[in-house]
Every structure is written in structure tokens, then in C-alpha cells.
Amino acid sequence: MKKRFETPYAAFESYLLRVGCNTHRLGADQFTMDSPLTGVMNLIKTCQAAIILGYPQYKVTAVLSKAGKHQQQISVVFPTPWNHIEATLAFNQRVPVLVIAHEGVSGGIFDCGVTGEYVHTTKLNRKDWHKEKGFQGIFQEWKKRIK
């Protein structure tokens, strides 16, 4: 995780613990001797719900030119492919999945309509993003689905 996201993530994780949600992150606070995929598959089987945080991992920038003249620069931001794997496994387990994307992150589960579930978009590098009214509303709805 990039430095600019570490403090906001720590604040979000503290919030989750305060409201009774346990967090599990393979490679961060849990470890396995299995392959990463097997580890994630085993971990998700123990979870009652999942939150997928789409942090920017890769940025592709291209310049569109016409007749050799610079017309426009475009950038696309992608999350880690693991977000898609983890979300797919969680949906397969039929647990409530909350998908949160940093502004600009797109593709796969972060595209509206792909899963049929709401995708919350925010600036994950802001310390208190999880206290915003928009997030709180969707978070409470997600929490109600947890069995």
C-alpha cells in the first residue's frame, strides 16, 4: 500500500474494529504457507462479509495525437488484480460484499453494474473518508446483510 493511503487505512481499520468488524488481510496480519490464491480461498471461507478496497496500483497514461500534434492526454488507473479475485471468491461464498474504489479506479468489480451491487467511490487517501454521510449510509446497509 502506498504511504499516502496508510494513515487513512489505519483510521478505517480502527473504525471497523470499534463497530464490531474483525479485519483479516493475508500478508499483512495473517500469513500462510499455502500459495496466495489458496490462502485467500481458505481465508474467505471463514468470513461473514467482505470489503474490497480499490486502491490505485497501476496508472497508464497515453497521448492522443493527430497529424503529429498532441491533442489530449488520458490516464487510466487500475487496482490490483487481487481485488477482482477476492471479490469473486466472496460473491461465490454468498457473503455481503462492500466495494469501495478510490476516485479514478475502474475496471471489473469497480465498474457500475458488473456485480449488481453499489460501488462506493471516494478519496481513500483522506483520513476520515469513512465518516462521510454517503459512506455511512451504504456501510450501515451492508452491515445489516451480515448474518
- Say whether 8 sits in a helix, a strand or coil: helix
| Cβ proximity of 107 and 81 under 8 Å | no
Q: Is the pLDDT of residue 30 over 80?
A: no
b vs e for 123-144, b when ≥16 Cβ sit within 10 Å of the residue's Cβ?
A: ebbeeebbeeeebeebbeebee
Q: Could you give the CA distance from residue 11 to residue 6 in angstroms, rounded to a whole number?
A: 9
Kind of pairing, strands 58-66 and 69-78?
Answer: antiparallel
Evaluated on CA atoms 109, 29, 18, 47, the torsion sign reads positive
Compute the average pLDDT of residues 7-33: 89
CA 74, CA 24: separation in Å to the nearest integer?
36
Cβ pair 84, 63 in contact under 8 A: no
Single pTM value for the model: 0.88
Average pLDDT, the chain: 92
pLDDT at position 85: 96
Continuous H helices in the chain: 3-18, 36-44, 81-92, 133-144
Look at residue 1 and tell me whether its pLDDT is greater than 80: no
The tens digit of pLDDT for each residue in 57-92 reads: 999 999 988 888 888 999 889 999 999 999 999 999
Domain borders along the chain are 3-144
**What CATH number should be reported for the domain whose range is 3-144?**
3.40.50
